[in-house]
Structure 1
Amino acid sequence: MATTDLFGQYRLIERIAEGGMGEVFKAKLLREGGFEKIVAVKRLLPALSTRPGFETHFRNEARLAARLNHNNIVHVFDFGKVSETLFIAMEYVDGVDLGSVLAALRERNERLPAALALLVAIEICRGLDYAHRLADEQNHPLKLIHRDISPSNILLSCEGEVKLADFGIASVQTDATQDDVIAGKLAYLAPEQARGEPLDRRTDIYAVGLVLYEMLCGQRARPASLPDKELMVRVESGVIEFPADPAMSDDVVALVRKAASPDKAGRYATAREMQNDVQRVYDRLKVEQKEDLPALFVRLFPDRFTERCGAPERTILATQRIARPLAAEATPPASAEPAPAAAATPTPAAALPSPSSRFRWAWVFAVALLAALAATGYWRWALAGATLEVRSTPPGARIWIDGKDAGRVAPAALDVDAETPFSLRLTLLYHEDYETTFSLLRGETRIAEATLARSLQPCRLETTPPGARVFLNDKLLDGATPIDLGEIPLGEKHVLRVEKDKYVPLQTEFILERKEEGVKTLAYALQDLFKRLTVEADPSEAAVFVDGRRLAGPSPFTVDDLLPGRAVRVVVSMEGYSSEMQDVVPEELDGPLRIALKPFAADLSVGAPEGAVVSVNGEAKGASAHLDDAHKDVQLIAVSVPGGKLSLRVKVAQARDAAGRFLPEATMNIDAQPWARFSLDGGPAQTTPASGKTIRAGRHSLRFSLGGQGPDQTLTLTLR
């Protein structure tokens, strides 16, 4: 790309990456006075900003990412929108991502040296530990998690540095390119991510375990070549298998297994704990490091890095920089809000000298300059003006003089007209404006210090239905909805939890972006914890049972304490009608469940043994008989066989079962000429005559022997 391509205040030098969200460029930040700085600019696809809520979500996440200031995390300098294109400007890392290094090693059938693998893991954990512990200005933990740690998001520089990229905007990428993320990142998801469960810092630790596995084993724990279903099964199980490798010590395997435990409770509780464990393994094994990162770059990518990484004075051994003593690190300071795109450009800490050195050289330069000016007579001319040093708490406030943008942010020193009154106004996102007036004498230097109060928005919460308990940032408020939430600070993440009996608890996070006139009302509709089912039965006097529990009637029948997503069994019955039974999931119904019963009817089929003749009510039917409407009268059934006859007097009626259904039931009196020994459905042997024998709906067998001596014969009875 030509160096004349401008994007806002950035000159795009070359495209260095592209993906589902957009493109990443090496760019140069241009400012007045010849100021230039090399940065990386991620330019998002214009279509993304048109998605509902995407731009707000992007700005919120980028604002959080800009708080991070650590050597092992890629710094975010700026973010905003040029025309219709969202962008984020980041620290430019002169190097390559870990994924490219591992791919190049696989092509050579090599692995990353164990020393480098352990040291890279130490640096990743160091950056994660800082981010996980970061707090806001009130020292409230921000509870940041990366969500998307993979080799492609771990950058390695020519100076031997290890930096974690895309911290804080992983959720933006997931929303923007869900299909790409699932296809490319599934191999590094923790089981709880795949199952849609709540995430915490241990989710990141699981991903670090998988990255360490890949560095040590030379292959992914979950090969991308697996079919999607099999890959998803492996992701949800969380279990990884180590290849047989005698060169890999038990200590190394144990720490990877702990980091990538399927159960969150079995993992390292913090990144610091894992960092210390990796360091102890490294020290105990006394791993020999034969190659550092710059040397590895030159060997794997000679065309790209021989000139940039090959010079001895630029090469820093990874062991010298990475494996420093594990002294306790201070808790990250509460970070100030970053200014949006128009704010003064911050400079990475690694590019600046120490404060004492910087100020010492500034004074030396100032003294020399003043001496030169005095010699030329310029000093007398300069006394015609004055200097105003503007400082703000928090820093970064934009400076306005007499209502005009001065193009500077505090802290800054401004030349102003002497003995002429002027107004000073300071503005900062999410803060109240500060305004005052000054009049300075000739040659005077005055310090203007201002503390900008955080903007507050009065808020009120309403719920449908009302009467819910409210927790704001884990604190239970007095009273119930509708309720005043008080004055909510702008630009901060707040957690709101609403609870009411018999309703699903609601928890949401919100950030107020701008102050509105009056009281801002937040409104939420609560979902029923239990589902309701209404049954309309015909006849209306029928009995209705839900999972064996009889409902009070008459129709319509209602039950309102059913668990969501669960099927229930509904039985409608009434004497004189055939019962109906259905299994339903209440929330899948569009309205009431309507069930109409039909008048009771029963059929009886009789099958005789070979050579027998069946008669029904004196009429011969042959070897078998079928009786429609068998319930209307007493049925006289005779089965003639060689040597005698078996007689059945059958009365069919209704009987209710345990589920509440009315089913056909037949009562039989059994006789024979001569007498017979019989067994009903394999029961004990009995002799005729016998009365009151019952059978219910289904197929039954009556085994009999005339006179107790003839061969056993079987009669089948099927009642429907």
Structure 2
Amino acid sequence: MPQQEQSALGIGCLGKYELLRKIASGGMGEVFLARQVGEGGFEKILAIKRILPHLTEDETFVRMFLDEARTSARLNHVNIVQIYELGKEAGVHFIAMEYVHGLDLRRILDRQREAGAVLPPALSLFVIREALTGLHYAHRQTTLDGTPLGIVHRDISPQNILVSYEGEVKIADFGIARAANRISEATGGMLKGKIAYMSPEQVAGKEMGPASDIFSIGIVLYEALTGKRPFEGKTSLEILQAIRRAEVSPPSTIEPGLPPQIDEIVCRALARSPEDRYPDARTMALALQEVLNAEWEMLDPAAELSEYLKEHFPEGNTPTSPPSELAATVVGGEEVPLDTTQLECVPPGEATETETFLEGASSPSRWIGGEVGMTVTQTLAGTPQASDMALPTLVGTPQSRQAMKEPPSSPWKWPWLLLLLLLLPLLLPAGRAWLGEHLRISPSPPTLKTPLSRKEVDRAPALETVPPPRRTLRIVSHPPGATISINGEHRPERTPAEIPDLPAGTRVEILLEKEGFERWHDSRKIEAEGTNELTADLVPIEVPVTIDSEPQGAEVYLDGVDVGLTRQTLGSVTFGEHRVKLVKPGYRSASFTFRVTRRTPLSFVKRLSPLQQEVSIVSDPPGASVILEGVPQGTTPLRLPLPTDRKISLLLEKEGYESAHFEGSVTPGKGELVLTLTPLPLVPLKIDSRPQGIEVVLDQNRKGQTPLVWRGKRGVTVGKHELTFRYAGRTLETRTISVGAEGDNKVVVTFHGRIAVRAPQDAGTVLLDGERNCLAPCTFADVVIGKHQMTFKRVIGGVEKVKTRDVTVEFGQTVEVEFPFFE
């Protein structure tokens, strides 16, 4: 077995790295805790992410993965998980990356939610501030000639924000989001957990920039502060629609104790338009730091975060033993339970001698292993007499476990055996018996000079043998109904079943098979005492199924469950019959069934029949504006595609006519819709003004001068109209009037100005147009615009003196006049 295949079992090496234990696995690859050793006692603990072998056949995925991994390898920042090497071993690609002893933010938030609490706000702000610092570093990276690299993470979520037990914050999986998304398309896994952190432009399939990462980290900050996501929904589609709308309730509505500055920061980060968000990640980080400085006194936030983790997650912080959790992520994967296997890399093809130290034992047991491949040293926890047991060599396959070697005899016996061979002629037959006892050689049967008769043979006493007891093995499977094979022999029973008459002390090989499930096999020793029972959890076979429609964007229901929009790739479809329903507005629903019987991926494309037809919209008279569902479409005559499966609302409008409405369904096959417009009645309209002679414009096209009357054929229609008044080439006022079907429709307007007379106190009397008077200084208000005559009177020496002056008043203005000087 090649080294790389053994690595997939958690045993062996990958290139120069020793794989210590398997941490996680998923649709994209596997993560191992690994060690790199060198001369002079050099040792480095790191993480290895190995791409699943079958993905190497996907050239597009490999190219995307290599391109983005090379880009992310440029990043060297304290808040980004460092990539050490991008390698390839036996045709399989892998990444050697920094090992973070801690937890991802997803696990921290989940633990807090289970406890009915949230992460302390100060620590939440600190974690997000640190992550923003790493994002800003990545966003502004350039080539050597200064060309921006345009690095965007594209997959910011709590799973990809790692927090170490020392209070460090690091972003993981930088640069492989596009490759991961390709695997999501092949396995149907992406829309299960990642869409809640997408940006509106990401949902719409538009180009993404740094602002997309800022939106995503704003969602993470919202969840850390409140324990809830800002965009929720019962289905993936509802979540996508909520993100597209980007309507957010401030965090303080859920956690009233939060400072108002936090609401401003979160709402700006979650703005629907990228232009309305923070210009870069650093600006948002500075805003968070200002709140931290103003609201909380944190001399060493990293130390406080470290203490918090050690207090609330003590199970993962065990410095005296290998880490039980690796803060690293795998696309579509979940963490797997860890064992206590320690790995020792041995070149293939060599027989090896391996020592195994037992917990609580004073000396090691030794044996020779002759299997080709990797020999493993395994620490065993067991009974006090475990050190006396003969331990087998453990290799990575069941076949190699069956070929285990017995422990050899001690080397000191062989010189004595050689001497006994030389003395053999002198010791026979006693020597032959001694050698048979110590070398386990059966003595030769004695030579019979006289053959025994048949009767003598039959009368000879038989050797007394004690057969082993026979026991029954009960086998249960989940689900039941699996066929059973024992030691390669097919049995008639199906699970659950009891297999009788099995000799105690022997080991049997069990194989369970059920259609649609992986084959399950195990080796079990039949115990002489107690209950012999075996329970098997069968793993369903999952086949990728791609469902598409023409046109795309149809909602996909698989076995009654909404799984997203076409084109949709589902990676977890089990064997058996399944039913699919496609629903898209404007099209007839399409349903079909398919059956999964093999591991081969399936693909289906369904053409949807449109539920609309081309209809000519005609009005009498033509030229009416057409409004469909509140949206202007053009003027009649007009051809429009109209749905035939639901009611529509159509409105036609034309000046001088009553609006025409159509509410209902279009009859299939009917290609024309004719609506007749009813003329509005004409009524008289009188318009006057002070002063008269003001120019009047009705509805921007009909003109006249006050006083005027429009009646008869020149009358106006009932309804609202716009009047504009002009004087001397200047617009004085524009107003909207309502014309009724009955009564006197008359409009009278007055345009005023003011005249202010400036003079010493009691300078004299002022008359305006010989009618209005005042004692200067004074002001004439509400003076009709136009020319006016002013008369000034003053008594000097008992004689009244008079002077006159013409003044022009403008609309809305004040004219200032000096009282004349009298000699």
TM bucket (normalised to shorter chain) is 0.3 to 0.5
Q: TM-score, normalised by structure 2?
A: 0.37
Higher-Rg structure is 2
Q: TM-score, normalised by structure 1?
A: 0.43
